[in-house]
Amino acid sequence: MTRLIYCRVFVFTFALLLISPFQSTFGQNYPNRPIKFIAPFPPGGTSDVLGRLIAQKLSDGLGQPVIVENRPGASGNIGHEMAAKTNPDGYTILLSNSSTVVNNPFLYKQMPFDWYKDFTPISMVAIAGQVLVVNPNVPAKNLNELTALVKANPGKYNFGSGGKGIQSHISGEMYKNAANVDIVHIPYKGTGVAVADAVAGQIQMVFSDMAPAVPFIKSNKLRALAVTSLQRSNTLPDVPTMAEQGYPGFEASVWWSIVGPKGLPTPIVERLNLELSKIMVTAEIKESFEKLGVTPLYSRPDVIFEKSRAESPIVGEVMRKAGIEKE
């Protein structure tokens, strides 16, 4: 028995000696050079701005430059594929969002990455509902009046989105299903373009991200009827939620997370997660995110995959009812 105990102690000690250099390399000494932060969307959009705000704070906390690299295309697929194929050494991370990882599998016959097999989750960083806006010429002052109006005129009212299958489209389809109304979807190449056409009266309504819509709401060029988050937005505190107006449980939000390639060492995940836990509660981040209509978040890594798994069947059913086929 004594010999067995000595053997176990020897094996355990030897294992620690093997592990120690690994911990030193990936824990204590990380990072010792710049980190690439892939943003899979074009410069200037909400995702890009969020990424740059977070990158600056990460740079401060980690003591190394965190350099944003835009890799747009295929609704975020190109940037995700690039990140998935990088070396899992902690020097390439990705700003992901739910439109890509939850919606895209229902839009593309072939996905260039597997969300659950190719990535290591680090932390959620932001969530944002959308706002339903209408042209001021639409004779509806609240959601119930809009619903009555479109029910009385099936197929005569339309809603714009930033493109087939992205969140502004999904939100509109969810409203169609919840209210049992017949409104026509008009896809655009970007939500901002759809908002501009709503201002011009070319379309009647848009489920929009906050950033492109808020200036027109404040200048009375668009009327806000509802937000799609479960709670009211700090950006538009006087606008009631969909749930408050007769659609309990209605939630349509976009969320962002930071992930790395599969196999990212646990000490690096924990270091980045710790830094993000500090960043996401700072007054500066809260204020900057609020201007974009976005709420900062922090989570343990496993929450990311839990949320995407919960949302996937809901989005899939919405797309099925909408007759959206994979391309």
The CATH number assigned to the domain holding 146 equals 3.40.190.10
Same domain, 237 and 263: no
Tell me, what's the pLDDT at 28? Answer: 67
Of the candidates 182, 215, 245, which is a domain's last residue?
A: 245
Average confidence (pLDDT) per 10 residues, the chain, 327 residues: 39 41 57 96 85 96 96 91 96 96 94 97 96 96 96 95 88 94 92 93 94 93 96 92 94 95 97 97 94 92 96 93 87
Same domain, 138 and 235: yes
Same domain, 109 and 189: no
Q: Residues of 81-114 as b/e, b for ≥16 C-beta within 10 angstroms?
A: bbbbeeebbbbbbbbbbbbbbbbbbbbeeebebe
What single-letter amino acid sits at 67? I
Same domain, 48 and 93: yes
Tell me, what's the pLDDT at 46? Answer: 83
Same domain, 64 and 89: yes
**Ranges assigned E (strand) in 267-325:** 295-296
- Domain residue limits at 85: 31-127+254-322
Same domain, 195 and 143: yes
Rounded to an integer, what distance in angstroms lies between the CA atom of residue 287 and that of residue 294? 10
pLDDT, tens digit, for every residue of 159-206?
A: 999 888 888 999 999 999 999 999 999 998 888 899 999 999 999 999
Query: Is this prediction's pTM over 0.95?
Result: no
Residue 223 CA: distances (Å) to CA of 50, 89, 132, 219: 26, 48, 8, 10
